[in-house]
């Protein structure tokens, strides 16, 4: 909700609520003394019920409306409004509202005041009267049913309109929660009438008789809901575990982790830090901007102690860190990511609400941190093995296995027949002389320098690979033969004009500068059904017959 609208809500409440308090005070001045104990007992019962809401799926059901109806039937509208407001404040305090959500107190308070008055109005219009009720007759049941139905409709309608037009959120009027609220509304009448009738017959004991089952059922269903919620969270964690076991990169694994954390935990911010003793703690990923931001001391402490921190409010961690770093933060979980008994990363979750993270959240986050550690290590091993299988260990260029697979995947497996490409194949001239004169180690150094020249010259125009020995190959996609020949000539000149540094390993080891030339063959796809490997063989023919056999240090085009 926008700030101006929140201010308007507070302004309305500060006008309406004092008037309501005035009527309460004025009403209770003349309130019979013998009713005070009963009303206080109802107030205690409705507070207890508010402390233990019944959770069904994502909906919290608080059977306070039934108790409120009993209070209304027994003591009248003002008493009902008083205990309803008391229950409302209790329930909202249990929701652990953040500073940004505190407006919900006046927001719901005004709505419930309006709902109580409208419901009472319908009750009186239907001929209902409040006071002593000894039997369930039509004169009582029909107005009470009208009260319950009006309470249900106006409550949901007021909240729907307020959310849709004040907070500008796109909400549905008919949702899953409405079904359970309707069920709750149906139960209001028998519960309210039963409590009111029993109170008239046996007095204070009626509250104990009805209150104990209320609280007991709420506690049982709450425990059941907690178990169901934990199982649901574990299923989401299991889903995350399956997904990270796929062949994903480290960055994608961490992105997947961030996405799942935000759906599993009630967080405002997620921070993932890398840690090693040399560089310390550094941001790896975050749901907030980290530019110019310092690492919080809570995460730093976790990296140093390798122990989880769990705080329910700012007061618990204010001596360690200030809210200048963790702004608008109350609840915090910070867990270490361990590998080989050492902390390698830290995950920190924050929320602006108090007591939002429970013990199960700590357990699940530690579980996910273990998943993350294993998944990242597996991904790094996979990337390393993949690189080893695709790269030439000497030059760090792609090897021929990778290059051959690239050709087959891109051009020989269901690819459009009209896709054009060209291949440049080059062989260093008289390279055996380099090995024989300066040693094979120096020859390897020259090959590395040649690889650098080719990579820098080709750039993003193509893919460079080591074909084998002193031969190199370049793939140029979506191009014509004219461009490929021009690039090949550029490569030939770049090699010819580049002095290469060698150390004479066969003598004193002095450095020398030598020149290298290359014979180059170029071929492109000329027929729709021509395979990529055929084009490669044509480039090979052009290199040997058109360049090598014609004097070397030249470019030849297959035709």
pLDDT at residue 333 in the model: 95
- Lowest mean per-residue pLDDT among 162-171, 172-181, 512-521, 543-552: 172-181
Q: In which element (H, E) is residue 387 found?
A: helix 359-390
Asked whether 424 and 474 are in contact (CB, 8 A), the reply is yes
**462-492 tens-digit pLDDT:** 999 999 899 999 999 988 899 999 999 999 9
Structure tokens at 58: 């994502």
Question: In the chain, what are the domains?
Answer: 3-231 (1.10.1760), 250-384 (3.30.450.40), 400-557 (3.30.70.270)
Backbone angles phi, psi at 502, to 5 degrees: -135, 155
pLDDT at residue 137 in the model: 75
Structure tokens at 72: 């209304």
- Lowest mean per-residue pLDDT among 28-42, 212-226, 313-327: 212-226
pLDDT-derived band at 355 (thresholds 50, 70, 90) equals confident
For the segment 183-190, the average pLDDT, to the nearest whole number, is 66
**121-145 tens-digit pLDDT:** 999 999 888 876 666 677 788 888 8
Structure tokens at 301: 């402490």
Which contacts of 335-339 are long-range, i.e. CB under 8 A and separated by 24 or more positions?
335/302, 335/308, 335/309, 335/362, 335/365, 335/366, 335/369, 336/302, 336/303, 336/306, 336/307, 336/308, 336/369, 337/369, 337/370, 337/372, 337/373, 338/306, 338/369, 338/370, 338/373, 339/373, 339/377
For the segment 510-533, the average pLDDT, to the nearest whole number, is 90
The CA distance from 60 to 282, in Å, is 41
Q: One of 404, 470, 496, 530 is an active-site residue; which one?
A: 470
Closest CA to 428 of 519, 339, 325: 519
Asked whether 200 and 132 are in contact (CB, 8 A), the reply is yes
Three-state DSSP state, 181 = helix
- 553 CB contacts (<8 Å, ≥6 apart)? 429, 492, 496, 517, 518, 519
CB atoms within 10 A of CB 9: 21
Which contacts of 287-290 are long-range, i.e. CB under 8 A and separated by 24 or more positions?
287/258, 287/262
Structure tokens at 206: 């009626």
pLDDT at residue 414 in the model: 57
The CA distance from 232 to 350, in Å, is 21
HEC states along 495-530? HHHCEEEEECCCCCCCEEEEECCEEEEEEECCCCCC
Percent of the chain with pLDDT over 90: 33
DSSP string, 209-235: HHHHHHHHHHHHHHHHHHHHHHHHHHH
Q: In which element (H, E) is residue 48 found?
A: helix 33-51
**380-421 tens-digit pLDDT:** 887 788 778 889 989 999 999 999 988 888 887 655 566 789
DSSP string, 113-156: HHHHHHHHHHHHHTT---S---S--HHHHHHHHHHHHHHHHHHH
**274-311 tens-digit pLDDT:** 988 888 888 888 888 877 778 889 999 999 999 999 99
The CA distance from 455 to 462, in Å, is 9
Asked whether 438 and 504 are in contact (CB, 8 A), the reply is yes
The CA distance from 465 to 383, in Å, is 19
Which contacts of 278-283 are long-range, i.e. CB under 8 A and separated by 24 or more positions?
281/346
- For residues 403, 406, 411, 414, the Cα torsion angle rounded to the nearest 10 degrees is 150
pLDDT at residue 186 in the model: 67
pLDDT at residue 178 in the model: 61
Verify whether residue 319 is a known catalytic residue.
no
Asked whether 87 and 43 are in contact (CB, 8 A), the reply is no
pLDDT-derived band at 58 (thresholds 50, 70, 90) equals very low
Closest CA to 123 of 148, 143, 150, 139: 143
- For residues 107, 109, 110, 112, the Cα torsion angle rounded to the nearest 10 degrees is 120
Structure tokens at 180: 């359970």
Structure tokens at 140: 């009582």
């Amino acid at each position: 909700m926008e700030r101006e609208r929140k201010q308007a809500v507070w302004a309305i409440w500060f006008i309406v609520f004092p008037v309501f308090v005035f009527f309460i005070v004025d009403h209770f001045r003349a309130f019979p003394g013998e009713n005070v104990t009963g009303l206080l007992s109802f107030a205690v019962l409705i507070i207890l019920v508010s402390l233990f809401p019944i959770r069904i799926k994502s909906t919290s059901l608080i059977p306070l409306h039934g108790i409120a109806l009993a209070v209304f039937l027994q003591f009248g509208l003002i008493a009902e409004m008083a205990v309803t407001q008391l229950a409302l404040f209790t329930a909202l305090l249990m929701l652990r509202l953040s500073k940004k959500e505190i407006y919900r107190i006046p927001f719901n308070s005004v709505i419930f005041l309006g709902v109580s008055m409208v419901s009472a109005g319908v009750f009186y219009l239907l001929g209902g009267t409040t006071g002593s009720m000894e039997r369930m007759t039509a004169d009582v049941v029909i107005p009470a049913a009208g009260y319950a139905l009006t309470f249900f409709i106006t409550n949901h309608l007021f909240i729907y309109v307020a959310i849709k037009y004040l907070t500008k959120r796109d909400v549905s009027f008919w949702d899953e929660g409405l079904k359970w609220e309707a069920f709750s509304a149906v139960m209001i009448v028998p519960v309210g009438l039963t409590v009111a009738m029993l109170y008239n017959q046996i007095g204070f004991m009626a509250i104990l008789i009805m209150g104990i089952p209320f609280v007991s059922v709420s506690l049982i269903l709450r425990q059941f809901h907690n178990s169901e919620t934990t199982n649901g969270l574990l299923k989401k964690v299991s889903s995350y575990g399956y997904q990270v076991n796929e062949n994903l990169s480290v960055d994608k694994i961490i992105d997947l982790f961030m996405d799942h954390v935000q759906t599993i935990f009630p967080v405002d911010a997620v921070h993932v830090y890398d840690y090693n003793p040399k560089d310390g703690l550094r941001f790896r990923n975050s749901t907030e901007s980290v530019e110019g931001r310092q690492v919080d001391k809570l995460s730093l402490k976790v990296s140093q102690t390798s122990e989880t921190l769990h705080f329910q409010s700012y007061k618990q961690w204010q001596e360690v860190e200030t809210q200048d770093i963790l702004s608008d933060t109350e609840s915090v979980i910070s867990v270490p990511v361990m590998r080989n008994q050492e902390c390698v990363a830290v995950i920190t979750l924050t929320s602006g609400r108090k007591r939002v993270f429970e013990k199960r959240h700590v357990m699940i986050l530690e579980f996910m941190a273990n998943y993350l550690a294993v998944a990242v290590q597996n991904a790094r091993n996979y990337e390393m093995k993949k690189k080893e299988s695709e790269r030439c260990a000497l030059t760090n260029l792609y090897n021929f296995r990778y290059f051959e697979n690239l050709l087959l995947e891109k051009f020989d497996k269901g690819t459009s027949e009209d896709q054009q490409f060209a291949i440049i194949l080059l062989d260093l001239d008289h390279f055996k002389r380099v090995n024989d004169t300066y040693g094979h180690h120096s020859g390897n150094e020259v090959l590395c320098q040649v690889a650098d020249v080719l990579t820098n010259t080709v750039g993003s125009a193509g893919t460079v690979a080591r074909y084998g020995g002193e031969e190199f190959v370049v793939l140029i996609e979506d191009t014509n033969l004219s461009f490929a020949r021009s690039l090949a000539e550029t490569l030939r000149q770049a090699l010819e004009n580049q002095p290469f540094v060698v150390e004479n390993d066969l003598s004193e080891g002095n450095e020398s500068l030598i020149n290298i030339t290359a014979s180059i063959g170029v071929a492109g796809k000329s027929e729709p059904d021509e395979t990529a490997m055929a084009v490669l063989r044509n480039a090979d023919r052009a290199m040997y017959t058109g360049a090598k056999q014609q004097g070397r240090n030249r470019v030849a085009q297959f035709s």
